[in-house]
Structure 1
């Protein structure tokens, strides 16, 4: 090695183990001429110490040595945590298949047959150094990936905790305010009746508007609390065998007067066995929300078609209207709480109706999907039959 041209400190290091000085000299000269750093050991015991200390990128190991032979040295290298991943190439005159198998079982990655050909030595060393570099890069990338996964998991857990905290606060507010609002409504109702008996008709219209406003706020709180119960899984205790045909029929019947006022035709078709283990009260509310939503947007004199059908393990309840529909860009957003699309700006509501339907669908291991009705919208609530 020239003293005027020091090796690059980043160059790979090869540990050469051989008890024959002539072989050591040839191999060291070959490796140094290929700009590799070289460490040497003259027997197996010294090789174990040098390998642990120098942490070479590759080991060239003679098989026939006094004391610890190459096979046993390799086994011990593979048994030590600090050296187990260092690739080992045997240098040997043993060429029988059984001897090569013994070497591979000891942990070697390759063989170089003596007498050594320096071009072959250089080629095999370079190949395995490249493989080792790729292995190290992959290990580093795996470690980095694991770090990123842990960081993302921690971020997700923190985000979930924040979301739960916000929901808990909103739920607590809704719960605390619902009682005084209910009391306020009762007092307004008493006041309205009192004024009617006294014949004071001047402020009655304003009181009736106030009652309507209070009812609307109470309905918002009721929806929030119902969503909170669903999120917490409390409503699962309400699951019983239910006939969804009856639930859907009752919902359609309930909204028939409203449809008639709007001159909207509200029809129902059912098919198949519609019995499922479900929460009938939540499903009734969810189906009612879909019909109510369709009535808000259906054309005067238009048509709303409600259908319920069995599809394998699922029951699908669809409500199709002929209104403006929902743009594709808005479809993923309309089930977010308090989201109000452009088409709904002029209609009453606060954006909890479809959010509630989505939560009910999730509780029943189902889904809420939207499709174009050209014109209008088809909203489909699917629930699993068995729980």
Structure 2
């Protein structure tokens, strides 16, 4: 390497030329531009120097004894450590096919002999800037790849933890459902016995206990249904179904409840609503949406259901005129056991919308929540295909 500039952070340019006079002029010009310079006098030396120094740019003479510039460039581009270093040819060759051969060998530019030093310095400066930007982009890409990998690993670990917790909760639900059912049976037998004996004093407490046990059992049943849906085993129950009939039956089932509260419950169906799915799960999901709307609808208010086909999907919307759900809570209300501020004073266990979302996912659909101004529009979409 020649005497380098005192600016140790400056880019390094490897100059390859078998003519000492040319070397001297180029080195003097580049060092005058505060660049560091390394030199080589033939192709073989250029290959060794390039691999050792790893310059930021190479100025390469074409006509040299032994390895000419074209072959030297090809070998530089074949080596992993030097393939990305930009090469500028210095040549007196001016024919188009000779220039094309140089670009095919891997060069990024040409300067023509006799060299115009200011032009050469300008081209060197331009390609050094491009090289610097390329390195910066490569570093950013590498950093992004590391961040993506880290996030993927964190996501995998989180999914494993969530699945572990979910499996534990599912196992608990499964193991406790049987003794709870037995407990309920014993309480029911005790209630009947006391009623036959005319002992009415403790009956109210027993009835409350039965209600509490029923509530716990319903939670466990919901958890087990969610577990089956998450595992995908409920797809075995898929069959051609008329979603219009399922919605109509759900509306008919909840009609008496709506009438007791003076709430209008209407349904409008549009188009062919035939799909392939699990009719029991779809009925439960729609029932949850209607039940949720009934909880929050205003007295003497109205709940409107619409079912329509949209291309390859069917959308069922349930619109009420209640308080609705704040935008900040919409992403959370489908989480299991989540209870928003508006629902804390109403009966429920925070699994209704979670189950609806799981049923939608199982049917390659989604659950959307939108403002009804006032109220909420909950839209269950399902795919018409298997």
Alignment of 1:8-47 (within 5 A): 8-47=7-46
The offset of 1:328, in angstroms, is: 2.7
The offset of 1:116, in angstroms, is: 1.4
- How many residues align? The count is 386
Q: Give the Cα–Cα distance (whole angstroms) in 2 for the partners of residues 303 and 34 of structure 1.
A: 80
| Deviates further, 177-186 or 28-37 | 28-37
Cα gap change, 1:270/1:117 in structure 2, threshold over 3 Å: closer, same or farther? closer
What is the TM-score of this pair, normalised by structure 1? Answer: 0.95
The offset of 1:140, in angstroms, is: 1.3
Q: SS state of the match for residue 45, structure 2?
A: helix
Cα gap change, 1:269/1:32 in structure 2, threshold over 3 Å: closer, same or farther? closer
Alignment of 1:369-380 (within 5 A): 369-380=368-379
Cα displacement string for residues 279-314 of structure 1 (whole angstroms, at most 9, x for unaligned residues): 111011111111111221222333322332222222
What is the TM-score of this pair, normalised by structure 2? Answer: 0.95
Q: Give the Cα–Cα distance (whole angstroms) in 2 for the partners of residues 281 and 257 of structure 1.
A: 21
Q: Give the Cα–Cα distance (whole angstroms) in 1 for the partners of residues 205 and 155 of structure 2.
A: 49
Q: Give the Cα–Cα distance (whole angstroms) in 2 for the partners of residues 89 and 371 of structure 1.
A: 61
Q: Give the Cα–Cα distance (whole angstroms) in 2 for the partners of residues 326 and 299 of structure 1.
A: 15
Q: Give the Cα–Cα distance (whole angstroms) in 1 for the partners of residues 96 and 2 of structure 2.
A: 41
Q: Give the Cα–Cα distance (whole angstroms) in 1 for the partners of residues 20 and 2 of structure 2.
A: 20
Q: Give the Cα–Cα distance (whole angstroms) in 2 for the partners of residues 284 and 102 of structure 1.
A: 72
Q: Give the Cα–Cα distance (whole angstroms) in 2 for the partners of residues 331 and 88 of structure 1.
A: 57
Cα gap change, 1:352/1:63 in structure 2, threshold over 3 Å: closer, same or farther? same
Partner of 2:139: 140
Q: Give the Cα–Cα distance (whole angstroms) in 1 for the partners of residues 122 and 302 of structure 2.
A: 80
The offset of 1:271, in angstroms, is: 2.6
Partner of 1:223: 222
Cα gap change, 1:117/1:302 in structure 2, threshold over 3 Å: closer, same or farther? closer
Query: Is 1:331 equivalent to 2:330 in the alignment?
Result: yes
Q: Give the Cα–Cα distance (whole angstroms) in 2 for the partners of residues 60 and 6 of structure 1.
A: 18
Cα gap change, 1:215/1:127 in structure 2, threshold over 3 Å: closer, same or farther? same
Partner of 2:90: 91
Cα gap change, 1:258/1:139 in structure 2, threshold over 3 Å: closer, same or farther? same
The offset of 1:6, in angstroms, is: 5.5
For the 8 Å contact 1:7–1:36, the answer to whether it is kept is no
Alignment of 1:1-387 (within 5 A): 7-387=6-386
Cα gap change, 1:322/1:124 in structure 2, threshold over 3 Å: closer, same or farther? closer
The offset of 1:167, in angstroms, is: 1.0
For the 8 Å contact 2:2–2:38, the answer to whether it is kept is no
Where in structure 1 do 4 or more consecutive aligned residues deviate above 6 Å? none
Gaps of 5+ in 1: none
RMSD between superposed Cα atoms in Å: 1.8
Gaps of 5+ in 2: none
The offset of 1:329, in angstroms, is: 2.7
Q: Give the Cα–Cα distance (whole angstroms) in 1 for the partners of residues 373 and 57 of structure 2.
A: 69
For the 8 Å contact 2:367–2:379, the answer to whether it is kept is yes
Q: Give the Cα–Cα distance (whole angstroms) in 1 for the partners of residues 145 and 372 of structure 2.
A: 46
Cα displacement string for residues 314-346 of structure 1 (whole angstroms, at most 9, x for unaligned residues): 222222223222223322222121111222111
For the 8 Å contact 2:14–2:58, the answer to whether it is kept is yes
Q: Give the Cα–Cα distance (whole angstroms) in 2 for the partners of residues 372 and 56 of structure 1.
A: 62
Cα gap change, 1:2/1:125 in structure 2, threshold over 3 Å: closer, same or farther? closer
| Deviates further, 18-27 or 306-315 | 306-315
For the 8 Å contact 1:366–1:384, the answer to whether it is kept is yes
| Deviates further, 263-272 or 350-359 | 263-272
Q: Give the Cα–Cα distance (whole angstroms) in 2 for the partners of residues 37 and 6 of structure 1.
A: 5
For the 8 Å contact 1:227–1:356, the answer to whether it is kept is yes
